[in-house]
Structure 1
Amino acid sequence: MQKINLDRSWEYLELGFANVLNLTSSEYEWKKVDLPHDAVIEKERSEANPSGAGEGYTAGCSLYYKKELILDEEWQGKNLILEFEGIMGIAEVFVNGRLVAKHFNGYTSFLIDITKHVKFDDKNIIIVRVENTHKPSSRWYAGCGIYRHVWLHIGGKVYIKPWHLHVQTRAIENETAKLEVRAVVVNSVNEKVQGVIKFDVFSKDEKLILSSEEKFLIGKNEEKVIAKTLELKPFKYWDIEDPYLYKIQATIICDESIEDSASTLFGIRTISVDPKEGFKLNGKPLKLKGGCIHHDNGPLGSASYDRAEERKVELLKASGFNAVRLAHNPFAPAFLDACDRLGMLVIEEFFDVWHAGKVSFDYHLFFDKYWEEDLESTIMRDYNHPSIIMWSIGNEITWGVGVDVDDDSSYSIYTWCERLAKKVKSLDSSRLVTAALCAIPDDYKRLFAIIEEGNYVIRMLKQEADVIEDKWGEFSEKFSRFLDVVGYNYKVDRYGYDRYKYPDRVICGTETYPYTLFKNWKQTIENSNVIGDFVWTAIDYLGEAGLGRVSIEVDDLKSFCGSYPWFLANCGDIDICGEKRPQSYYRDVVWGNRKDPYIVILPPQVYGKKLYFKPWAWEPVERNYTFPGYEGMKVAIHVYADADEVELFVNGRSLGRKEAGINTQFKTVYDTIYEPGVIEAIAFKDGREIGRDRIETTGEPIALKLVPDREVISSSYGDLCYIKIMAVDRKGREVVFADNTIVVEVEGVGELVALGTADPLSGEPFVSRKRKLYKGRALAIVKSIGKEGEFKLKAWAEGLDGAQVFVKCI
C-alpha cells in the first residue's frame, strides 16, 4: 500500500468530555500543532499532581485532536487505512463524526480501516480524543497525546495488509540463505480474483539481485497468506559491526496492471542460545553489553521524532553498548529502524503488568481484553527488524500476585507465562522468548538491608540464593519452563549457583545496578549460562523521580522516589541531554573500551561524610577540579583505569604509584588536599605507560560556546539539530560551576522545540526560551520546518558574552 505521512496541520484542544459533533463549532479555540506532540511536557509540574513521583509530578490531560483530510480523487475505489504509531492515553478515533476505533495501550500501534467512513466530495474530519487524567497511570513519565507518527495507507482492491509482508531466514546452507517470504493479501471485492505476486529483492545500494513470482487465486472478501521460498547466494549477514540491510518489494499484478505494492527492509542473521556456549550471533559467541531505556526523549518529553530516536542509538553505540532492552513496552518504529541501520541488538518488551497493577490506573485494567491484540500487533509490525533478538512477555510480574507454586488458577502467573510464550511462538518462532524476574514477596523484607562499604552505606536488595529454603528458585523453575532465556532483575549473586542447580537454564541479567558493574560483568563473563548484562539504566529518563539519589541524611532515602521537585530518575549512564556521566566512563574501562585512565573527583563539600545511596545511584563524583572557597580542604581523587598501576600528580608533584586494574575493581583512590591547578594521572602496564588523563582548574565564566551535533540537517519537516550550550572561561575551557540563566532565540528556517539541562530537580519548563545552566551546560533542540535554507541560534546570559551558530537545512 502507498504510505502517506499525516503529521502536519493538526489542531488540538484541552477539554473534558464533549459531544464530538459540536467540536467543529466556532466556540472552541483550537491550537495549531504538528505531530508528534506531547501535551504534558508543556504543562507546569506540581507537588499536588496525583501522578506523583513516578510520573515526575506532571499533570494529566484530556485532549481532542482534529485534522481536516481532503482525499485525492485517484483514491476512489481504493482501500484506506489509518495507522497510529502511538497515542498516549485512552484513545477514541472519530471519522466524520462516527466512532471508528478505541485503543487503550499507549505504546502499541494500531490500524483503522476507514474506507467506508470517508467521502471524496468534501473534506473529512478526523477527531481523536485522548484521555489521560486518571492518575497515576504509569510508573514513569508517559506524557499524553499523539506522540508518534500518523500514516494513511492507500491500497488497491486487492492489497497487501500493512505490517504483513514478512521475511524469515529459514536456513543457511553452503553459503546460501534460504528465505521464506510471506505476504497477507486481502481481497476487498465480492468476487474471486486471480493474479500474480512478484517478489523483488534489492541490495543495500538498491540493485535488483533476485526476482520471483507466485500465482494466486483469492476468494471474495478473503484474507490469504501467500508464501514463497527464495534462495540468496551470495549474501551478506546483518550483524552489529556491519548491519547490512536488504529490501524486498512485493507487487500484486492483476489483469496485467499493478494493483498494489509494499516493501520492507530485512536482514539475514542467525541467533542461538545454549547454557554452555551462551548467545551466538551468526554462529559467533557474543556477550550482550546491554542497557535498559525508557521511551521518552528527555527534554522533548515523549514526542517521538525520528532523529531523537536515532540519536539515542548513536549515543548507546558510542558508549560501547551492543544491546538494549526496551523497558517496559514496545518503542517507536523509528527507534527500531535506527537499531537496524546502526547495529544494535534489541529485547523488545510487551508489558510491565499483566492482571495485577503496579499503580492504580495502569494497563492491568485492560490486559484481560486486549493483551492478545497488543502482542500480535507488535510482533506483526516489528517482525522484519533484524535487530530484535528477543521478545519479553513481561517485567517483574510478581508484584502483587504472590508466587504459590501450586497455584493453577485462571490468574496464575505460571498459566499466563505459558499462554503468552506460546502465543509469541505461534506468531514468530524465529526469536527467543524471555521475561524479567525480580524478587518475590519473601525477598522484600530484606529490601533495605544495609551493607557497609568504607565511608558509604549502600542500600540494596539481597541477591544471593537461600540454599536452605530457596523459594525464589522454586518459583523461577516453574515460571520459566516456557522461556528460552530467563531474565534476572538484580539477582547477579545467583548466576553461579543457578548454573549448577538449573544446568539447562540460559540467564540474562535484564536489570542490574550501575554501582555493582564490576561484579555484574565479572559474573557475566565467568558464567557461560549468562548471556549478557543490562544496566538500569543506559540513558536517564523522566519520572521515577530520584530513583538514583544520594544523600547525607538516611531519612531522605526512606521513600522509593524523591519528593518534589525531583523530576529525573538520575540513574542513567548517559544523562537526558546525551552527556556521559562518570559511571559511563567507568563502564568504558570495565568493558575494555577505554585505554586511557579517567579522573573524577569526590568534591570537598561531601568528602568524609557518610553517604546514603539508593541502589541505582552512583557516588557523587564530578569531572571537575574547580572548587572556589574550598582551598586546603580534603578531596578524594578517583582514577578509573585498566592498568597495573596508576600514578597521580598534583601540580607536577607525584602522590605516588598505586595498584589499579582488576584487584582494585578498576578504581584507584587518592585522598589529598584541594589546591587549584592541574591533576594528571598516568597508567602503567608491565612497567610501561599506556595512557594518561588530566584535569585543570578553570577560571570564571566569561562567554557562551555553542556546539551543534550536525552543521547540516534535512530540510524535511521534523529533523532535529541538538546544540550544546556551554559556559567557558578566557581560555575556552568549560566552567562546570557556572549556573547563569541563559536565553536563546532561533531565526530562519528552524523552530526551537526544547531547551533543557540534566538538572534532576529543576522546575523550569523544557518549552521555555530561558533556562539556568546546570554544571555549566544546557541543550537546545531545533526542528526543521520543511523549508530549505539556514537557521541561526543565538544564546546570551547576563555577565557572559553571547554566541551564535548557523545550521543549514538542505
Structure 2
Amino acid sequence: MRGFFILPALAISLGVSAQRSDTALKQWEFSRDMSDWKSVSVPHDWAIYGPFDRSNDLQKVTVEQNGEKTATWKTGRTGGLPYIGKGYYRTTFEVPDTAGQVFSFEFDGAMSNPRVKVNGKEIGHWAYGYNSFYINVPAGVIVPGKNSIEVSLENKEKSSRWYPGAGLYRNVRLVTTSPVHVPTWGTYVITPVVSAKEASVRLTTEIAGAAKAQKILVKTDIISPDGTVVATNNSVYHAQGQPFVQDFLVEKPQLWSPDTPCLYEARTTLSVDGKDVDVYNTRFGIRSLEYIPEKGFFLNGEYTKFKGVCQHHDLGPLGAAVNKAALARQIEMLKDMGANAIRTSHNMPAPELVELCDQMGMMLMVEPFDDWSFRPKSQNGYGSIFGEWAQKDMENMVKHYRNNASVVMWSVGNEVPSQWGPDGVSELVMLQDICHRLDPTRPVTCGMDQYGAVIDNGFASTLDIPGFNYKPQYYTQAYEILPQKLILGSETASTVSSRGVYMFPMELKAGAKYPNHQSSGYDTEFCSWSNIPDVDFSMDDDYPWMIGQFVWTGFDYLGEPSPYDTDSWPNHSSVFGIIDLASLPKDRYYLYRSQWNKKESTLHILPHWNWKGREGEKTPVMVYTSYPSAELIVNGKSYGIKSKGEAKPLDYSKRLSMSFYDRDKAWDEDRVQDKAGMERYRLVWDDVVYQPGEVRVVAYNADGSKAEEKTVRTAGKAHHLVLTPNRSKLAADGEDLVYITVQVADKDGNIVPDDSRAVKFATKGAGSFRATANGDPTSLRLFHLPEMDLFSGAATAIVQAGKTPGVITFEASAKGVKPAKISFVVE
C-alpha cells in the first residue's frame, strides 16, 4: 500500500470582483400543491413540522444486513414524518444588466429530484437530493430587471432507510461572472512536499469562456492564516482548453491538523487585456497524509488514530435544514469528547459541515451513498438511479471537496448488497477509479459488513483501505489475509442506550427490548451484529495497523429506531447516539471521553441516585474516568478501590471459521471475553446496595495520590427550573442559535434526574424560539411548538437570533415548580 500525501482546499467564490458576484437566495414562497403559497426562508425542511404518524412511509422489507430472512413491517424507519410527496418553491431576483455576464445557479442540495425553471424555461435537473450541483444558465434566459426561478421537488415513497428531509434544505446561490472565469469547483490544490521547513503548493485551475489561443494573465497569491501574502505566481495562460498549473513554495508553513486548523487561501485573478475579469478564492490547508502498511496512519508525520463518529445529516429537532451554528455545536461537543474525525454516513455532506471541519479541526471521511445497482436496499433508493447518476454524483462530490483540509479519505459506499453480487467488484473499481482520477492524493474505502463474501470475491482486497463494519473479531485475520496491511473500523459499536434510563439487572445483552421501548444507559446493550465500545477500544490500542474507528453514531438521528424498528411504534429515532436527539450527552459520552480526550481529565458516575422502590436492592455503579483507579463511597461506606484491568489483547480466533450470524454458537465464551475488555476501560462495582443519600468517587493517579472527586446525591422534591445555555452571545445574522438545557432541581440545587413534567417556553426581544427536543425516541411532541416534556429530567430549547442587535429574554415555566429566566446578547 503506497503512502498518500495531501494538501487540500475548498474553492469558494466570494464576490470580491465586480465581475463575480455570489448572491444567496434566501426568501422563497413554498407550496405543496402550487396553490396555497407561504413565505419561507431557505434552508427549509417542509417535513420536520410533522405530525408524526406510524403510517408515514411504512415499509415491509427484509433487512438482509441484519440477518433477516423474511419481510417485516418497519415502523418509524424514516422518522415517522411526512416527507413523501411533491413540493414547490419560487422566488424572484433582480439583474440590473446582463451584458457581458454569464450566470449559474449553485444548489448545495435539494431533497429530492429537483427540476429548475427560470422565467418559465426549464434549465436543468438533478436526481440525488444529497449532492451539490450547479446549472449554467443558457444565454438569454435571464433578462435585465426582474426574473423568476421555480424549483419543483419530489420525494418518492420507500426511497430511504432514515429521515432524509424534504425541500430546499440547503443553500441556493446565483453566481454571476464574466464570460472568462473560473467555473464552479474549478481549482485543485495539492502539496507534493510538506515539511516544517517548507511546502510546495500546486494549483490547477480550469478557465472557462476563453477563445482559442487567447492570452489570459493569471495571478495567484498564496495568503497565510494571518492574511500575509507568502507566495505569488504571475503567469500567462494560452487558452487551448487545457487546465492551467501554477507552482509555489511556502516557507515555514503552518500545518493543518485537528489541534492546529491553520488555513491558507489561493487568490486567483484572471486578467484580459489589462482588465481584471474574475477573482476566485480557494481555501486550503497545508498538511500531509501517509497511510503506511503495518504501521498505520500518519498526519504531518505523526502517528494518528481515527477517533471518529458516523453522522447522519439531520440536526435533530431542526430537521435536515442546514444550520451552521447547529453544526458547530455538534463539532464542539465531539471535540470535547476527544473525537478527531467524522464519517458523512451515508451521503454527501452540506458544504457548511466541511467548512466548519476545516476551521475547527475535524477530519472527514466523505461518503456518497449506501446503495449501488445490485439488489437495492430501498425500492426507490439510490440503487434505482445508480446506473445513470453514480458517475456524475461521484465527480461532483470529489471536485467539490478535494481541496478541503479536513477531508482525508473517500468512501464509495456502505454495506452495499453488491458485496455479494457478481458485478460488485466492477462497480467498486468504477467508483474508486473516479476518486483516483480526480484526486490521487487520498485513499478510498468502503464500509463492508459481509466479511466472508468480500474476502472470497476480491472486494476487500480491491480497496485502498479495507473498512469493516462491526467485525473486530475478524481484524487480525483480515490483516493477515489482505494485501493492504491496514484495517479501518469504518463503523463500530452500535451500542444502544437511552439517556438517563437504566435496566436491571445490568448485563451484556444483544437486541434487548423492554416494555418502555428504551435501552439501558449502562452501555452494555448492543445490536445483534455489534458489541460494546470496549471491544473496539482494545483493537485500536493493541494493533498499530488498526488505523482507528468511526462509531455508530455520534448523535442520535431521525429514523432507524433499532432495536425497536419492527412494529414498535412510536419509536422513530435512533438510540445509537453517544449524544441524544436533543444534543444532550448520554453516559457513553464520558466513556469515550475518558479514552479519547487526552488533554483534560474525565470523572463520571452512573447511574443517578434516585431509585424510589429499589431500597435494599443491588444497583451497580460504574465510573468512566481517565484516571487508573478510584474508590467508591456510598453513604459513608467504602466499596473499595477499583483499578482498570490488565491490557490484554482480545482473542476471537475460535470463531474465525464461523459464519458471522452463527456467532451465537460461541456467544457465552465471547461475552466473557468482552466483559474482560469492559473491565479494562471502566470501573464497575456490581454489589452496591441502593439507599437514598450520597455516592462519592475519589480518583487516584498512577502513584496513588488523590487526583479528583465527584459526588452524586439523591434529589428531593422538585422545586425550580434550571436553565443552562451553551453560550451567552449570538450574532445578529438571523441564523445563529443558542442551545438551552432545561432541568428541574430541588431546593438545594440537586438536579432531579427522573422528572418528566411538561415545560413551556417563551421568548421576547431580538430573537425567537426555534425548536425543542428531549431525546426520548418515543416522544411524539412536535419540535417546533414551544412546549416539551422532560425526559430523564431534561430537555433542550433552541433559540434563534434575529437580524437586529439587542437582547433576547427566554423564560421556561412548568406546573409545580418556580420558573426560570435568562437573557442573551445579540450583536
1:712 to 729, 741, 762: 729
**Which residue does the alignment assign to 1:48?**
55
Contact 2:115–2:125 (8 Å) recurs in 1: yes
**Which residue does the alignment assign to 1:33?**
40
Give runs of aligned pairs for residues 430-441 of structure 1, distance below 5 A: 430-439=441-450
**Which residue does the alignment assign to 1:528?**
544
Code of the residue aligned with 2:768 in structure 1: it is E
**Which residue does the alignment assign to 1:19?**
none
**Which residue does the alignment assign to 2:586?**
581
> Secondary structure at 1:70's aligned position in 2?
strand
Structure having the larger proportion of residues in strand: 1
Deviation of 1:473 (Å): 2.6
Contact 2:98–2:144 (8 Å) recurs in 1: no
> Secondary structure at 2:186's aligned position in 1?
strand
Cα distance in 1 between the residues matched to 2:381 and 2:453: 29
**Which residue does the alignment assign to 2:651?**
none
**Which residue does the alignment assign to 1:284?**
302
Deviation of 1:275 (Å): 2.4
Code of the residue aligned with 1:140 in structure 2: it is W
Consecutive unaligned residues in structure 2, runs of 5 or more? 1-12, 16-20, 59-74, 496-530, 647-675
Contact 2:86–2:153 (8 Å) recurs in 1: yes
Cα distance in 1 between the residues matched to 2:341 and 2:602: 24
**Which residue does the alignment assign to 2:131?**
108
Consecutive unaligned residues in structure 1, runs of 5 or more? 16-22, 441-469, 550-556, 602-623
Contact 1:647–1:681 (8 Å) recurs in 2: yes
Q: Against the structure 1 CA distance between its residues 511 and 195, is the aligned structure 2 distance closer, same or farther, given a 3 Å change threshold?
A: same
Code of the residue aligned with 1:198 in structure 2: it is K
Q: Against the structure 1 CA distance between its residues 36 and 432, is the aligned structure 2 distance closer, same or farther, given a 3 Å change threshold?
A: same
Cα distance in 2 between the residues matched to 1:192 and 1:785: 52
Deviation of 1:122 (Å): 4.1
Give aligned pairs, total: 722
Contact 1:570–1:760 (8 Å) recurs in 2: yes
Deviation of 1:435 (Å): 0.9
1:797 partnered with 2:814: yes
Contact 1:187–1:218 (8 Å) recurs in 2: no
Question: What's the Cα RMSD here?
Answer: 2.1
Q: Against the structure 1 CA distance between its residues 429 and 7, is the aligned structure 2 distance closer, same or farther, given a 3 Å change threshold?
A: same
**Which residue does the alignment assign to 1:756?**
773
**Which residue does the alignment assign to 1:631?**
615
1:154 partnered with 2:176: yes
**Which residue does the alignment assign to 1:646?**
630
Cα distance in 1 between the residues matched to 2:566 and 2:229: 55
**Which residue does the alignment assign to 1:419?**
430
**Which residue does the alignment assign to 1:211?**
232
Contact 1:252–1:260 (8 Å) recurs in 2: yes
Cα distance in 1 between the residues matched to 2:313 and 2:262: 26
> Secondary structure at 2:582's aligned position in 1?
coil
When the two structures are superposed, what TM-score results if normalisation uses the length of structure 1? Answer: 0.86
Code of the residue aligned with 1:706 in structure 2: it is L
Q: Against the structure 1 CA distance between its residues 245 and 156, is the aligned structure 2 distance closer, same or farther, given a 3 Å change threshold?
A: same
Give runs of aligned pairs for residues 678-697 of structure 1, distance below 5 A: 678-684=694-700, 685-697=702-714
1:196 partnered with 2:217: yes
Moved more, 786-795 or 63-72: 63-72
Contact 2:594–2:625 (8 Å) recurs in 1: yes
Q: Against the structure 1 CA distance between its residues 182 and 521, is the aligned structure 2 distance closer, same or farther, given a 3 Å change threshold?
A: same
1:729 to 735, 738, 746: 746
**Which residue does the alignment assign to 1:572?**
577
Code of the residue aligned with 1:289 in structure 2: it is K
**Which residue does the alignment assign to 2:655?**
none
Moved more, 744-753 or 77-86: 744-753
Contact 1:7–1:36 (8 Å) recurs in 2: no
1:258 partnered with 2:290: no
Cα distance in 1 between the residues matched to 2:797 and 2:593: 27
Give the share of equivalent positions with the same residue, in percent: 29
Give runs of aligned pairs for residues 112-511 of structure 1, distance below 5 A: 112-116=135-139, 118-132=141-155, 134-172=156-194, 175-187=197-209, 193-218=214-239, 223-356=241-374, 357-397=376-416, 399=417, 401=418, 403=420, 407=422, 412-439=423-450, 473-475=455-457, 478-502=458-482, 504-511=484-491
Contact 1:295–1:302 (8 Å) recurs in 2: yes
Cα distance in 1 between the residues matched to 2:151 and 2:626: 55
Structure of higher RCO (CA pairs closer than 8 Å, 6+ residues apart): 2
Contact 1:589–1:641 (8 Å) recurs in 2: yes
Deviation of 1:659 (Å): 4.4
> Secondary structure at 1:116's aligned position in 2?
coil
**Which residue does the alignment assign to 1:607?**
none
Contact 2:296–2:546 (8 Å) recurs in 1: yes
> Secondary structure at 2:592's aligned position in 1?
helix
Deviation of 1:525 (Å): 2.3
Code of the residue aligned with 1:369 in structure 2: it is E
**Which residue does the alignment assign to 1:454?**
none
Contact 2:95–2:144 (8 Å) recurs in 1: no
Deviation of 1:503 (Å): 5.4
Code of the residue aligned with 1:639 in structure 2: it is V
Code of the residue aligned with 2:154 in structure 1: it is E
Contact 1:95–1:127 (8 Å) recurs in 2: yes
Deviation of 1:595 (Å): 4.1
Contact 1:421–1:482 (8 Å) recurs in 2: no
When the two structures are superposed, what TM-score results if normalisation uses the length of structure 2? Answer: 0.84
> Secondary structure at 2:389's aligned position in 1?
helix
Q: Against the structure 1 CA distance between its residues 386 and 645, is the aligned structure 2 distance closer, same or farther, given a 3 Å change threshold?
A: closer
Cα distance in 1 between the residues matched to 2:603 and 2:758: 34
Cα distance in 2 between the residues matched to 1:767 and 1:317: 28
Cα distance in 2 between the residues matched to 1:191 and 1:660: 71
Code of the residue aligned with 2:594 in structure 1: it is V
Q: Against the structure 1 CA distance between its residues 58 and 174, is the aligned structure 2 distance closer, same or farther, given a 3 Å change threshold?
A: closer
**Which residue does the alignment assign to 1:540?**
556
Code of the residue aligned with 2:263 in structure 1: it is L
Q: Against the structure 1 CA distance between its residues 706 and 646, is the aligned structure 2 distance closer, same or farther, given a 3 Å change threshold?
A: closer
Deviation of 1:307 (Å): 1.2
Alpha-carbon deviations, 1:534-589, whole Å to 9, x = none?
Answer: 111121111101x2x5xxxxxxx6xx556111121111111122222111211222
> Secondary structure at 2:377's aligned position in 1?
coil
Code of the residue aligned with 2:605 in structure 1: it is I
Alpha-carbon deviations, 1:689-742, whole Å to 9, x = none?
Answer: 333222111122222222222211111131222222222221223211111111
Deviation of 1:388 (Å): 0.5
Deviation of 1:644 (Å): 5.4
> Secondary structure at 1:736's aligned position in 2?
coil
> Secondary structure at 1:228's aligned position in 2?
strand
**Which residue does the alignment assign to 1:600?**
606
Q: Against the structure 1 CA distance between its residues 373 and 130, is the aligned structure 2 distance closer, same or farther, given a 3 Å change threshold?
A: same
Cα distance in 2 between the residues matched to 1:690 and 1:732: 25
Q: Against the structure 1 CA distance between its residues 185 and 596, is the aligned structure 2 distance closer, same or farther, given a 3 Å change threshold?
A: closer
Contact 1:597–1:682 (8 Å) recurs in 2: no
Deviation of 1:283 (Å): 1.1
> Secondary structure at 2:192's aligned position in 1?
strand
1:60 partnered with 2:76: no
Contact 1:12–1:63 (8 Å) recurs in 2: no
**Which residue does the alignment assign to 1:675?**
691
Cα distance in 2 between the residues matched to 1:130 and 1:66: 8
Deviation of 1:672 (Å): 2.7
Q: Against the structure 1 CA distance between its residues 256 and 516, is the aligned structure 2 distance closer, same or farther, given a 3 Å change threshold?
A: same
Cα distance in 2 between the residues matched to 1:712 and 1:640: 32
